[in-house]
Copies of this chain bind each other. A is one copy, B any other.
Amino acid sequence: MSIFEFLFGKREHKTANVARDRLQIIIAQERNTRDSENDTPDYLPTLQKELLEVLSKYVKIELNDINIAHEKRDGIDMLELNITLPESKRLESSAIDLPAPTAEA
């Protein structure tokens, strides 16, 4: 078995009627050094916000299509973002092809 089996939840229950593309982002930090328990600030929540900003440059993301879970276990701090992508994912000006719009004077 590999991690593929656990992406997007137990895949065996993958129902046929999942008709939209989905995006899953997992950020996990494993703390192995004694001092890291307390000296490392918990930046995952802040990081999460910036990741969504970066993502929204590539795909249209609707706020209510985002599901966020934050879990701590076995010395691992895990943030999981599950995003259902809208039917047409292409942005009006696709972030990849067109040059950045110039600022109006």
Contacts and interface: CB of A to CB of B under 8 A. Distances in A.
B24 A25 contact: no
A38 interface: no
B8 A46 contact: no
Copies of this protein, total: 2
B22 A7 contact: no
A30 interface: yes
Contact of A32 (B18, B31, B94, B96): B18
A2 interface: yes
Interface of A: 1-4, 6-8, 11, 18-33, 36, 39-41, 43, 46-47, 50-51, 54-55, 57-59, 71, 73-74, 76, 78, 80, 87, 89-90, 94-97
